[in-house]
Chains A and B, each alone.
Chain A
Amino acid sequence: MALRNSTLSGPAIARTECAGAAGGARRGRRAGSRDRDSGAGPPPKAEPRVRAAAAMAIFSVYVVNKAGGLIYQLDSYAPRAEAEKTFSYPLDLLLKLHDERVLVAFGQRDGIRVGHAVLAINGADVNGKYTADGKEVLEYLGNPANYPVSIRFGRPRLTSNEKLMLASMFHSLFAIGSQLSPEQGSSGIEMLETDTFKLHCFQTLTGIKFVVLADPRQAGIDSLLRKIYEIYSDFALKNPFYSLEMPIRCELFDQNLKLALEVAEKAGTFGPGS
């Protein structure tokens, strides 16, 4: 899985300027036990702040309506593998434009990997293939006058369009899952396991799916899913201005969901070895 790659690349990056990135890398090591074997990583610097980030064990929440449309999505993890470097002209990496993003095509070094995207230039986030002030990234980097320049690279995040697409794809897989079953009356996919995360899915009797991506050792996800269902029925459905089946844009829903995730992360006990 693609996610595994990014986690394995974690130890190679020793960035201290960005607490989020460092925390992410540390969490990556915790999540994938075989990372420890790779041994290349720097000794973990145990700052309290970083520890807090490392305890985050629920990565994402998705809510899919009965037609397979994504109506809510929340990411609650810091980016894992990011690298920032200051370059002088000419750029010694080969960049290419792919899918409205600027990716590294060749020239893997210093934690910058082939496939990583340009995330920020001189500290300002880029917007797809455009810089924060609307210039094309490739053009900007082609101009010697703009150097030295500091570029942050990282694994490209899923765009909201991609999330939408993946959610409806999962919706279909769920249905295929129940059709494949040799037994009568089997449910669809309730859990998917990879070596870095587990996907838990709960479908209500009315056909809404709640999907949680979490650390494989995170416990208590079943009750978290029920809790999210309650939060949905309370703060989305009971809001008279929320229309059914439509994207959830409710402040209270957001707040309560985040609260529930925090509680679940604290309560969910890790297995041995953590």
Chain B
Amino acid sequence: MSRQANRGTESKKMSSELFTLTYGALVTQLCKDYENDEDVNKQLDKMGYNIGVRLIEDFLARSNVGRCHDFRETADVIAKVAFKMYLGITPSITNWSPAGDEFSLILENNPLVDFVELPDNHSSLIYSNLLCGVLRGALEMVQMAVEAKFVQDTLKGDSVTEIRMRFIRRIEDNLPAGEE
């Protein structure tokens, strides 16, 4: 199956700074609109989810990856293909749980937080929580219910940023026909 290499939208490069700044403006506006950080986190996750359920189609249309039959495969695709494609970074995969249903994505450098310093009054804000929503939404569309959350964040003084992914179940009821 041949894929056209040059696509109109792909060749367009845009400043990653503008992207980072836009995301910053979004989060600060949410902080103004909502009283507490919990609500902001929730909103970010919701927005991410809505992005994820659409982004997955773009990802599948473009990357030519097939269905994953194992969570380890999924982890690999997320880190090596998806993150690379959309954020230009390749997180490392570590801390597998013995049952193989949980792992961590370690982001050594998170492009969303390039210029960010978290003020003291927003100590419980999860600044990049959008990413968790994206992961959750995208995987839900390929019939995988997962939980994604930040457990370490460089903004909060940790040395790395860590997203913990937990596999919950396969969503069998909307499995498309012909997919076992």
A contact residues vs B (CB 8 Å cutoff): 66, 174-175, 177-179, 184-188, 203-208, 222-223, 226-227, 229-230, 232-234, 237-238, 244
* CB of B14 closer than 8 Å to a CB of A: no
Contact B180 A203 (CB under 8 A): no
Contact A207 B174 (CB under 8 A): yes
Scan residues 93-135 of chain B and give those whose CB is less than 8 A from a CB of chain A. Answer: none
Contact B178 A208 (CB under 8 A): no
Q: How far is the CB of B71 from the nearest CB of chain A, in Å?
A: 16
9-residue interface stretch from B19-27, B57-65, B80-88, B147-155 = B57-65
Q: How far is the CB of A197 from the nearest CB of chain B, in Å?
A: 22
Bound Cα distance from A229 to B10, whole angstroms: 15
Determine the chain A residues whose CB is within 8 A of the CB of B177 once the complex forms: 174-175, 177-179, 188, 203
B contact residues vs A (CB 8 Å cutoff): 1-4, 7, 9, 53-58, 60-62, 66-67, 141-142, 174-180
Partner of A185, one of B9, B55, B66, B180: B180
Task: Supply 22 A–B pairs (Cβ within 8 Å), ascending by A.
Answer: A177-B178, A178-B177, A186-B178, A187-B178, A188-B178, A204-B61, A205-B176, A205-B179, A206-B60, A206-B141, A206-B176, A207-B174, A222-B1, A226-B61, A229-B60, A230-B61, A232-B61, A233-B57, A233-B60, A234-B9, A238-B58, A244-B54
Contact A230 B7 (CB under 8 A): yes
Contact B176 A223 (CB under 8 A): no
Bound Cα distance from A175 to B178, whole angstroms: 7
Bound Cα distance from A222 to B3, whole angstroms: 10
Q: How far is the CB of A229 from the nearest CB of chain B, in Å?
A: 4
Partner of B57, one of A204, A222, A226, A227: A204
Given A205-B142, A230-B62, residue A238 in contact with residue B178 (CB < 8 A): no
Contact A206 B57 (CB under 8 A): yes
Q: How far is the CB of A108 from the nearest CB of chain B, in Å?
A: 42
Given A223-B2, A233-B61, residue A184 in contact with residue B180 (CB < 8 A): yes
Contact A66 B176 (CB under 8 A): yes
Residue among A174, A186, A237 with the highest chain B CB neighbour number at 10 A: A237
Contact A206 B180 (CB under 8 A): no
Contact B176 A203 (CB under 8 A): yes
Contact B61 A229 (CB under 8 A): yes
> What residue in chain A is nearest B175 (Cβ atoms)?
A207
Contact A174 B4 (CB under 8 A): no
Partner of B58, one of A175, A178, A234: A234
Given A177-B178, A203-B178, A206-B176, residue A229 in contact with residue B2 (CB < 8 A): no
Determine the chain A residues whose CB is within 8 A of the CB of B55 once the complex forms: 237
Bound Cα distance from A175 to B179, whole angstroms: 10
Contact A205 B58 (CB under 8 A): no
Bound Cα distance from A223 to B64, whole angstroms: 12
Partner of B3, one of A175, A177, A204, A226: A226
Contact B61 A205 (CB under 8 A): no
> What residue in chain A is nearest B179 (Cβ atoms)?
A205
Bound Cα distance from A234 to B55, whole angstroms: 9
